[in-house]
Amino acid sequence: MSTHVLVVEDDSDFAESVSANLEYAGYGVSGIARSGLEAFQLCEQRRPDVALIDIGLEGAFDGIFLGEQLAERGIKVIYLTGRFDRALREGREHAAGLLAKPCSLADLTAAIDAAVAPASQHQRAST
């Protein structure tokens, strides 16, 4: 069973590129959301394992608020953003990963795999 990823990004070209690369790497893409509200709706339709979130979203929900809400619902959150300093300050506590744009596919897949790895793997890796 592949890991399902929701891409939350308001830059359509970047979102499509990330989505295509994830599918090429063997991940399922639950959808692309261009706003926080659209992300909530997509999560209700098809719950992803991981949400890749740009924190600079327009609209009622910015990416930090969205990430907090999704993390509370048990969805792993990885911030993929050009505002890395803000993600460090405001998103570190609830995020499973933080990546600065642009990042390599290898870094992206490593962050996703680490986010969904069982807790026992995290404990073995850190000892």
Taking all residues of the chain, what is their mean pLDDT, rounded to a whole number? 86
Domain count, the chain: 1
- Percentage of the chain surpassing pLDDT 90? 58
Range of the domain at 30: 4-126
Q: What are the C-alpha distances in Å from 47 to residues 2, 29, 117, 126?
A: 13, 11, 17, 29
Q: How many whole angstroms separate alpha carbon 78 and alpha carbon 87?
A: 10
Do residues 47 and 40 touch, judged by C-beta distance below 8 A? Answer: no
Task: Please provide residue 19's backbone torsions phi and psi, each rounded to the nearest 5 degrees.
Answer: -60, -45
Give pLDDT tens digits for 94-110: 889 889 888 899 999 99
- pLDDT value of position 90: 66
pLDDT confidence tier of residue 1, bands split at 50, 70 and 90: low
What CATH number does residue 112 fall under? 3.40.50.2300
Describe the crossing of helices 63-72 and 36-45 by its angle, rounded to 10 degrees: 20
Do residues 63 and 81 touch, judged by C-beta distance below 8 A? Answer: yes
> How much is the pTM?
0.87
Give pLDDT tens digits for 55-104: 888 877 888 899 999 999 999 999 988 776 766 666 678 889 889 888 89
